[in-house]
Amino acid sequence: MHRFVKLLIGFIVLVTFFTASSGLYEDWLWFSDLGYSQLFWTPLLSKVLFQAVNGTILFLFIAGTLLSIRHAIVTYVNERLRLRLRLVQDMNRPVLKLSQRRVTIWLLIISAVVSFGISFVAGFTGWLDILAFANATQFNQADPIFGKNLAFYFFQLPFLNTLFDSFFGPLFLLTLFTIIFYIVTGVIRFHSRKLWQDGSVSMSISCRKHLAFLIGILFALKAYGYYLDIFQLLYSTHGHVVGAGYTDLNATLPALKLLIVISVLGSILAFISLIYRDSRLLTLPVIGNIVIGILVSSIIPGLIQSFLVIPNELSKEQQYIRHEIQLTRFGYSLDNIREVDYPGNTALTTEALKMDQGTLDNIRLNDARPMLQTYNQKQGIRLYYKFNDIDTDRYVINGEVRQVMMAPREISTPDLDSKAKTFVNMRFKYTHGFGASASFANAVTSEGLPSFAIKDVPPQSEFSEFRLTEPRIYYGELTNDWVVANTTVKEFDYPLGNSNAENSYRGKTGIPLTPLNKLMLSLHHGTPRFYLADEVTPDSKMLVYRNINERVQKLAPFLTYDIDPYMVINAGRIKWIIDAYTTSDALPYSHLDPNQEFNYIRNSVKVIIDAYDGTVDFYVVDPNDPILKTYMKIFPGVFKDANSIPPSLKGHLRYPETLFSIQSNMLKNFHMTNSSVFYNKEDSWDIAKELFDTKPQNVDPYYTIMKLPGEDTPEFVLMLPFTPASSATNTRNNMIAWMAARMDGEHYGELILFKLPKNIEIDGPLQIESRIDQDPKISEQLSLWDQKGSRVIRGNLLALPIGGNFLYVEPIYLQSDKGGSIPEMKRVILAYQDRLVMTETLGLALTQLFGEGAPQPTTPGQGIPLPEPAPQAKLASEQDPQIITSIIDQMNQIRTLLDDLETQLKGLQTNPSETPLE
């Protein structure tokens, strides 16, 4: 029986160990399968090494301290603890008596648990600081105060802070616990004398030496901490400046230097007290450090800020404001923006429009927000298919660059019928999505729906660039669960008549289900089905981390990833492209927005993932970024050169909208490089606003194909307009500038800021929205549509720079209030200078604005005008105004007759004897 219990305990321990390590084992298999084993081993070994070294040092301190008070613990428990429970049979026998050996064992166990527990937590965050410190790359810039290379703040200071935090906090708590213990046990006694008088505190020699050693170490560490605080001043947020200001450098900095001297003296006096028996050598430095610290680091700087700096803020802070402007612009790459003047009021002619034919051919009429609903309704095919979002990109179609809106058709297993959510279906059968749908940005059918360039399942397209040879999507934005592929159960492909098309996974990635792998994966996922299911074979593979966002985050958590991956069709396969950023909050003087955790950002890496087999490639697109250079030293071979990106994929790289939005928000104030203008916020900007769902909101950056001023050919750009900043009493919505990000060929990553003249007013998007609302014919038609039973959706209002002026385009959608209805584009509003028209097509609007000779946008790849609507489809609001007036008069007459009839009916009910109604 005793042997059986031992075997049972051994079995439980073994199962517990394998279960606890099964997740780590799965990760090792997964990293190795993708070819990134060093991304597994380097962090793991670094954490273990850091935890071991840090834990050992802490263990020596903690164990040494606890063992030094071991005798006091034993004495206190065995002799001085008077409250003892006694047995009735032997009144003089104590129930509990501690031995030196037992106390020693328990103190060592406590020391090990505490020290390695603290190190275990610290190792999860500190490992990268250590590796970055050892592999630091220099910047080409130094801080303006201390003259240190910026690499010190990015790579060395975080490591030094990690060291300080790893030791000071635990040792401070240890010292505090030791003092409390000595006081409780009576080893330390306070007398009625004052603390600065000799003999006010009495303690044993061993106690004094023990505390002297601990306090001496703490003072030395605190001096080191004050030294690090000097460099932390460059992140100060006190006062007007982000970074060290006048008070920080003229009051707080000297105070920190004084505290360093006091702490060093305190450490020296503490060690001297090991020889001289005077308790004041310990008490006075502690009291002095606290009092002087409060006085010189808080009170005096506060008085200087209030009475000296604030009354003369600009003159005192001006040079530091210049530092903030310079380093913030560097941190967000605003210093690389090229500024160009744009007239904004050049008269447009038909010849000028013809020169911008490429821009007209790609004016986006399809708005991604209502169009996502259309995609799911028209191309979802089944409930378990779902389009997560719509991506905008460009493709060369028949020799012409065309703007395309595209979305992958992913599998959404949560939308399966509840009875179909069996283990086999969820894990073996419904494993992947299928294909994609796409439409050109300016192509709309006669019903107002997007004209699909890719549609149906299996995907069909008349354009060779969109034809898919491998349409299956095992890895996407909605594939959140693990599956087992290549089992005896055929995987669902797509519905086919009364049956289903099926297939088996043949990708090169996936964890093979060998006997050992089966065991560990079963333990990790808590299921025996790998053994019990007959469907699983030796050729089966387990696919994990299939959500592409989770996948890249698991591989390289030290990078920051864009929240919006986008799909690309390349050589018949679906690829995902994710923008990865190197970010840091360590740049001195750089503005840190409250809504983000960094003040330095670079889009240094493009991550490309195959939607079928999940292979992941990291490509370097900013080789000059020092942070990325450091990561490349830490993880050699992980990052590939941008030249190795297939040319067909390189043409689909986009400037990320997320980064562009961050830079645009920073540019609102940091386009001002004059410190006086910046201080007074004389020329602050704001993001232009538009109406969506009847509410004003910031215009989102939008991709478009256009010919930039001074260029010969149209290109794919990301742009955003700006307006002057508004106040509570002064609202200004005129356009003042617009910024474009280039991304084609050698111009990738270039930012251009086009500034408009300040002596003229050019309408911003919200002003155009107001003009639309104030136009009698347009507002009447929109109001007529937007009644019970239907609602009007106003799409993105695009401000398109053309020929030194602007065209404003806004699509108008109509959607029934009935459930399941689809938004249909019914009208296009086009504005130019003081003219405004609403027509059924963009071509007709151009004709009405610029005459019969106006160029017409062409359908994608076919070179023919977009079809005009049939005459009978025209609405009354676009016919003769006299007809509208006549209809309104007749409706008013009918309303008057109905009112009179209602009055007479009420009178008849009150006086039935009156003459009946005629």
In tens, the pLDDT along 80-107 reads 554 444 444 445 555 556 667 777 888 8
- DSSP reduced 3-state for 715: strand
pLDDT at 233: 95
Assess whether pLDDT exceeds 70 at residue 866: no
Q: What is the pLDDT of residue 82?
A: 46
What integer is the mean pLDDT of 556-571? 96
The answer to which of 167-171, 572-576, 669-673 has the lowest mean pLDDT is 167-171
Across the chain, what does the average pLDDT equal? 86
Q: CA 68, CA 356: separation in Å to the nearest integer?
A: 85
* Residue 270, both tokens: 């503490």
Percentages helix, strand, coil for the chain (3-state, rounded to 5) are 45, 20, 35
CA distance 700 to 836: 23
Taking only the tens place, the pLDDT of each residue in 647-672 is 999 999 999 999 999 999 999 999 99
**What pLDDT is stored for residue 658 in this prediction?**
96
Neighbours of 802 (CB within 10 A): 20
Query: Which among 525, 557, 638 is positioned nearest to 47, based on CA atoms?
Result: 557
Per-residue pLDDT at 3: 76
- Predicted confidence (pLDDT) per residue in 783-799, tens digit: 888 887 888 989 889 99
Comparing 3-17, 573-587, 809-823, which segment has the lowest mean pLDDT?
Answer: 3-17
299, 329 Cβ separation under 8 angstroms: no
**With bands split at pLDDT 50, 70 and 90, how would you rate the model's confidence at 13?**
confident
Predicted local confidence at residue 83, as pLDDT: 46
| Residue 702 pLDDT > 60 | yes
Q: Which residue has the higher pLDDT, 266 or 76?
A: 266
Of residues 245, 331, 248, the one with CA closest to residue 670: 331
The pLDDT of residue 86: 45
Q: What percent of the chain has pLDDT over 70?
A: 88
The type of residue at 50 is F
CA 622 to chain centre: 20
Q: Please give the Cα distance from 329 to 336 (Å, whole number).
A: 8
| Alpha carbon distance 232, 164 (integer Å) | 14
Report which secondary-structure segment, H or E, holds 416: none
Could you write out the DSSP letters of every residue in 635-698?
Answer: STTTEEEGGGS-HHHHTT----HHHHHHHHHHHHHHT---HHHHHHTTT-EEE-EEEETTEEEE
Q: What is the pLDDT of residue 63?
A: 84
- Closest C-alpha among 223, 235, 222, 50 to residue 154: 235
The residues facing 460 across adjacent strands are: 455
Which one-letter amino acid corresponds to residue 260?
I
Q: Among residues 339, 463, 308, 349, which one has the least CA distance to residue 398?
A: 463
Q: Could you tell me the pLDDT band of residue 282, with boundaries at 50, 70 and 90?
A: confident
Cα–Cα dist 815/820, whole Å: 10
What average pLDDT does the segment 156-185 reach?
87
In tens, the pLDDT along 25-53 reads 999 999 999 999 999 999 999 988 888 88
| pLDDT given at position 860 | 56
Is it the case that residue 635 has pLDDT exceeding 60? yes
Mean pLDDT on 174-190: 79
202 pLDDT exceeds 70? no
Phi/psi for 83 (5° steps) reads -80, 100
What is the separation, in whole angstroms, between the first and last Cα of the chain? Answer: 110
As a whole number of angstroms, the distance between CA 472 and CA 503 comes to: 10
DSSP 460: B
Rounded distance between C-alpha atoms, residue 563 and residue 386, angstroms: 18
Write down the pLDDT at residue 634.
97
- The two tokens of residue 404 are 């395309």
Helices 280-294, 205-232: axis angle to 10 degrees equals: 20
Give the residue-averaged pLDDT of 855-863. Answer: 66
For residue 536, which amino acid is it? V
564 burial (CB, 10 Å; 0-12 / 13-18 / 19+) is middle
Confidence of residue 595 (pLDDT cuts 50, 70, 90): confident
Task: Please check the confidence at residue 878 and state whether its pLDDT lies above 50.
Answer: no
Q: Are 30 and 39 a contacting pair, CB within 8 Å?
A: no
With b for 16 or more beta-carbon neighbours within 10 A and e for fewer, the 750-787 pattern comes to: bbbbbbbeeeebbbbbbbbbebbeebeebeebbeebee
Out of 112-121, 493-502, 614-623, the most confident range is 614-623
* Neighbouring residues of 268: CB distance < 8 A, sequence distance ≥ 6: 216
Round the CA-based radius of gyration of the chain to a whole number and report it: 37
916 has pLDDT over 50? no
Please state the rounded mean pLDDT for residues 217-236.
Answer: 94
DSSP H or E stretch at residue 366 = none
What's CA 658's distance to the chain center, in Å?
Answer: 8
State residue 828's pLDDT score. 95
Residues 6+ apart with CB under 8 A from 463: 397, 453, 861
Amino acid at 34: L
pTM for the model stands at: 0.87
User: Rounded to 5 degrees, what are φ and ψ at 433?
Assistant: -85, 180
Pairing of strands 338-341, 751-755: parallel
> What's CA 330's distance to the chain center, in Å?
20
Higher pLDDT residue, 177 or 775?
775
Per-residue pLDDT averaged across 224-238, rounded?
A: 94
Asked whether 828 and 365 are in contact (CB, 8 A), the reply is yes
Cα-Cα-Cα-Cα dihedral sign, residues 456, 460, 465, 470: positive
DSSP string, 188-241: SEE-SS-TTSTTSEE--HHHHHHHHHHHHHHHHHHHHHHHHHHHHGGG--SSSS
Other Cβ atoms closer than 10 A to 196:
11
Average pLDDT estimate for 317-345: 96
Nearest to 723 by CA among 711, 732, 714: 732
Q: What are the E-state strand segments in 235-336?
A: none
- Beta-strand ranges (E) seen in 743-789 are 751-755
pLDDT exceeds 50 at position 631: yes
What pLDDT, on the 0 to 100 scale, is given for residue 198? 52
Q: Which string of DSSP letters, residue by residue, matches 114-151? A: HHHHHHHHHHHHHHHHHHHHHT----S-B-TTT--BHH
> Is the link from the previous residue into 588 a cis peptide, with omega within 30 of 0?
no
